[in-house]
């Protein structure tokens, strides 16, 4: 029997895991991570080294219990439209059904978002025949509000191809905005009642500073790169994300799920490894940050491990910055 994972230690060590999306279903903690392959191939800025082929779902009864790997929940071979690279997933529960949202490259090498369904939180999941019409880029995160409306947030720069969708169609050679222009924001769409389609064309989320000025593309300490996550605390919506090239997890706040969001600060300072990716979840009366680093592989960027730690709010609703190694 595995021992319970300690804060800031890998949740599991028998496989490489990353991009943890944590949820509480049936009173237990379920973690939906990427499953990194143990390969020694070359790396590039396009992220070809992130060549994942399946998903394994993890769960813990609580933080004093061992973390269980429920085995293969979905494999690339069973997703008719997908060619490669099962990147960061998320999950949601509605209509007595569990939904797994995931990105993958389609047969034309364009990243799209797919959905798979299951009657149990740990799967196995059955993929829809095609990707979500009108979907693109990577890192889907689903937030269901108190009125039961479900929002899907997504988008990632560089290998995540968000730059190529600025006109609404895929332009393979498109570059991002100049340094003094507003940065690209993540996208949001409202999901249909059955959770399988978008009800509207995805909208770009505005992230602004305290004066209302857009965060600029050259402001790499604050601009959006990838890995959106939205949660609600004390009536405010929190959009947190990775700054990519500066390797921080940061957040912005809004009174509306679709923004605009006002930049607030840093949640997690850089971890070992290039990518940083997270989720935030309440379990019982405390809040937790799930994240990853590359400590399990001594720093190999595409061999990551999922961890957790407690997250603390200040009285004004801001979040205390966490150092992953203190």
Q: Closest separation between CB of residue 314 and ligand FUB, Å?
A: 27
Residue with tokens 């600060």: 265
Which of 16, 30, 55, 87 binds ligand FUB (CB under 6 A)? It is 87
DSSP letter assigned to residue 301: T
CA 203 to chain CA mean position, Å: 18
19 included as an active-site residue? yes
Report residue 149 as tokens.
């409306």
Which of 226, 238, 261, 303 binds ligand FUB (CB under 6 A)? It is 226
Active-site pick, 19, 36, 69, 90: 19
End-to-end CA separation in angstroms for the chain: 28
Q: Closest separation between CB of residue 88 and ligand FUB, Å?
A: 4
Active-site pick, 90, 204, 226, 293: 226
Sequence-distant (6+) residues with CB within 8 A of 172 are 164
Does 89 bind ligand FUB (CB under 6 A)? Our answer is no
Q: Closest separation between CB of residue 306 and ligand FUB, Å?
A: 11
Q: Which of residues 259-288 bind ligand FUB (CB under 6 A)?
A: 275, 277
Q: Which of residues 93-152 bind ligand FUB (CB under 6 A)?
A: 138-139
Determine how β-strand 82-84 pairs with β-strand 97-106. antiparallel
b vs e for 287-322, b when ≥16 Cβ sit within 10 Å of the residue's Cβ? ebbbbbbbbbbeebbbbbbbbbbebeeeeeeebeeb
Sequence-distant (6+) residues with CB within 8 A of 68 are 2, 58, 59, 60
Does 50 bind ligand FUB (CB under 6 A)? Our answer is yes
Which of 11, 12, 60, 88 binds ligand FUB (CB under 6 A)? It is 88
Distance of alpha carbon 116 from alpha carbon 209, whole angstroms: 37
Does 19 bind ligand FUB (CB under 6 A)? Our answer is yes
* Count of chain residues binding ligand FUB (CB under 6 A): 13
From the number of C-beta atoms within 10 Å of its C-beta (0-12, 13-18, 19+), residue 325 rates as exposed
Q: Residue 157 or 262: which CB sits closer to ligand FUB? A: 157
Is the separation of the CB atoms in 118 and 125 below 8 Å? yes
Distance of alpha carbon 242 from alpha carbon 229, whole angstroms: 10
Q: What are phi and psi of 162, to 5 degrees?
A: -60, -35
Does 239 bind ligand FUB (CB under 6 A)? Our answer is no
Q: Residue 23 or 292: which CB sits closer to ligand FUB? A: 292
- H or E element, residue 112: strand 111-118
Report residue 233 as tokens.
């605390």
Q: Residue 69 or 262: which CB sits closer to ligand FUB? A: 69
Does 187 bind ligand FUB (CB under 6 A)? Our answer is no
Residue 177 has, within 13 A of its CA and on its CB side, a CA count of: 19
Q: Closest separation between CB of residue 227 and ligand FUB, Å?
A: 4
Q: Residue 19 or 208: which CB sits closer to ligand FUB? A: 19
Q: Residue 87 or 198: which CB sits closer to ligand FUB? A: 87
Does 21 bind ligand FUB (CB under 6 A)? Our answer is no
Q: Residue 202 or 227: which CB sits closer to ligand FUB? A: 227
Does 34 bind ligand FUB (CB under 6 A)? Our answer is yes
- Where on the chain is the footprint of ligand FUB (CB under 6 A)? 18-19, 34, 50, 87-88, 138-139, 156, 226-227, 275, 277
Catalytic residue numbers, as ranges: 19, 226
């Amino acid at each position: 029997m595995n021992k319970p994972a300690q804060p800031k230690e890998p949740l599991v060590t028998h496989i490489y895991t990353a991009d943890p999306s944590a949820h509480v279903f049936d009173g237990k903690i379920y973690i939906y991570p990427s499953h990194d392959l143990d390969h020694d191939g070359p790396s590039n800025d396009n992220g070809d080294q992130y060549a994942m082929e399946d998903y394994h779902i993890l769960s813990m009864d609580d933080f004093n219990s061992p973390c269980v790997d429920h085995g293969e929940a979905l494999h690339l071979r069973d997703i008719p439209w997908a060619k490669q690279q099962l990147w960061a997933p998320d999950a949601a529960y509605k209509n007595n059904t569990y939904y797994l949202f995931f990105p993958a490259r389609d047969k034309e090498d364009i990243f799209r978002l797919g959905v798979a369904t299951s009657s149990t939180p740990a799967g196995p999941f059955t993929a829809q025949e095609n990707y979500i019409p009108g979907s693109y880029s990577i890192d889907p995160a689903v937030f269901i509000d108190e009125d039961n409306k479900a929002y899907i947030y997504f988008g990632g720069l560089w290998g995540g191809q968000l730059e190529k969708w600025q006109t609404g169609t895929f332009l393979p050679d498109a570059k991002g905005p100049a340094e003094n222009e507003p940065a690209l924001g993540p996208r949001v769409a409202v999901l249909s009642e059955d959770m399988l389609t978008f009800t509207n064309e995805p909208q770009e989320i505005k992230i602004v500073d305290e004066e209302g000025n857009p965060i600029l593309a050259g402001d790499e300490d604050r601009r959006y790169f990838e890995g959106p996550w939205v949660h609600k605390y004390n009536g405010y919506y929190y959009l947190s994300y990775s700054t990519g090239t500066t390797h921080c997890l940061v957040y912005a706040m809004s009174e509306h799920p679709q923004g605009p969001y006002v930049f607030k600060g840093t949640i997690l300072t850089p971890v070992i490894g290039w990518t940083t990716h997270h989720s935030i979840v309440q379990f019982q009366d405390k809040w937790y940050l799930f994240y990853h680093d590359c400590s399990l592989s001594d720093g190999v960027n595409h061999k990551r491990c999922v961890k957790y730690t407690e997250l603390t709010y200040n009285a004004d609703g801001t979040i205390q910055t966490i150092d992953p190694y203190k």
